[in-house]
A and B are shown apart, each in its own frame.
Chain A
Amino acid sequence: MSAQTTGHENQTHSLEIPNDPAHIATARLFASAIGRHFGADEEAVEDLRLGVSEAVTCAVQQGDPTKSIRIDVVPGADTLGVEVAWRDGSDVVANEHDDVPAGGGQSGAPVLAEGVPAMGLDLIRGLFEDARIGPRSDGMRAVGFSISLSERSG
């Protein structure tokens, strides 16, 4: 696991975690700490925490278990942009306790522990107007979204 922050405060803050559910909480802590640092109010921090948790959970379920998951938080003038990126697994990766493959839902959507189609990505789409979910040009898959600091900080 590694964290990286560039010299200038308004540059990207990055965290790499192993593809392991035990590290999802670390990603939430990382994102919420940066959100508070940049003045996000508690509701915005809660959205950030939930969005990162859902995105990293998706990455854990769909990603290559041998490859790390990267979380980038990019401060803007009045926004915080977030991107969670991962390498797809070559095989379907099942949650170790699931009856249903984690990556084997309808249309490839991740599946929750009880076999319920994942609400996670729908939650992200609902919470963040600019949610972006899909492949990147470098072959990684990513979930991205941003929170507005100015509106929320009032």
Chain B
Amino acid sequence: MSETAASPPRSRRGRWALVLLLAALPFTLLVASVVGSVSLSPRAVINSLLAAAGLPGSPSTLGPQGEAILWSVRLPRVLLAALVGGGLAVVGAALQSVFRNPMADTGLLGVGAGAALGAVLAVRLGLATEVFFALPLAAFAGALTAVAAVYVLAHASGPPSLHGLLLTGLAVSALAGAGTSVLLVATEEFRVKTVLFWLAGGLEGRSWTHVQLAAGFILTGTALLFALSRPLDLLSLGEDEAASLGLPVHAARMAILCAASLIAGAATSVAGAVPFVGLIAPHALRPVVGPLGRHLIPASFLGGALLVVVADIGARTLSSRIELPLGSLTALVGAPYFLLALRANEGRG
């Protein structure tokens, strides 16, 4: 009898899924850099990337205009799409373990509503037009303020229950939403459009500065959540069991929520609302790689990155006249997917 049985079949399947996602990402990033209103030659793009990395290859044949499009328009946008998608998916995966609910998403923390309020405030005060990065910075500040408010209010009478945390998040979100509406109504019409564009979620005209702004928080936060994989696994078993196995439940939960808020805040501040990514990517990958954090978190990052990079290709290319809002595209794909998944779930009982 083999006690230390060979690695189970599913974990082998999970490993293959990870390898496949890992291989698909560079390919998708390349495709995303090539297509657009001006298409570039894939070979020329590869050569330009190789040259920039100091690796041997034929000299770039993109020409000055192509180089400019690739390096100052496409690449920052594509990388930002990957970071935002990966980050949101990881946050979804983590929150779903903490709240023990596959429907948990960034909305629970008040991140989206807080970011929106911050963004509208920046626009209303006219900051967004005067200071280049006022909008994302204000959105980030708004997101973190909302999370801090949820945290403080939920802790008002001792360590909160999951339920208390959830309801506090909803209440703070509703409050921030009300504030956003009031400000929007009171904002001059020509400025409202700036906010609406941001609220609709998108990556048009994002620069390397946006990438720098988001990358630090998203990558650090993801690394933190990956390091907290096993506490996440324990929390998904329920509070009593996690505590009886020696986990400091409240501290672990708060560390996870903090990391998740930084990621979600950074992603939302540069891209606006990109809904459903945090729901779909973990939901689709959990049956393949299993629910353990050490597999699900990297897989979700890759899956979410792929999803948003592809959605952003759609946003740029589906219509020749206008750029479609990225957030609407993810919702357009995400909502039906989710309804189907929900029905399949209920069918199984």
Q: Are A and B co-members of a single complex? A: no
Q: Could you tell me which B residues sit within 8 Å of A by CB distance?
A: none
Q: Could you tell me which A residues sit within 8 Å of B by CB distance?
A: none
